[in-house]
Amino acid sequence: MAKETKPADIRAKTADELSALLLDLRKEQFNLRFQRATGQFEGVGRVRQVRRDIARVKTILAEKKRSAATA
């Protein structure tokens, strides 16, 4: 995933798709951390972007769970 994920795109996905996206983002975050530790790091802004995308996905997942619980 090369660019920031929009909240509207995330909201359109199901809970299973969001869980898969969250897993992919966490793997990417791990790889970026590993690259930085080994000195192969190039994408300076990507770490921040991935961290924010993870927060977006987690927030929307929580909203979906909350709305399912009240319905």
Query: How high is the pLDDT of residue 1?
Result: 47
Per-residue pLDDT of the chain (71 residues; tens, 9 = 90+): 456 678 889 999 999 999 999 999 999 999 999 999 998 888 889 999 999 999 999 999 999 999 988 87
Angle at 10 between CA 60 and CA 44, to 5 degrees: 100
Query: How high is the pLDDT of residue 66?
Result: 93
C-alpha 64, offset from chain centre: 16
The pTM assigned to this predicted structure is 0.86
Query: How high is the pLDDT of residue 3?
Result: 67
Query: How high is the pLDDT of residue 2?
Result: 54
Place of tokens 């897993």: 23
- The domains of the chain, with CATH numbers, are 7-70 (1.10.287.310)
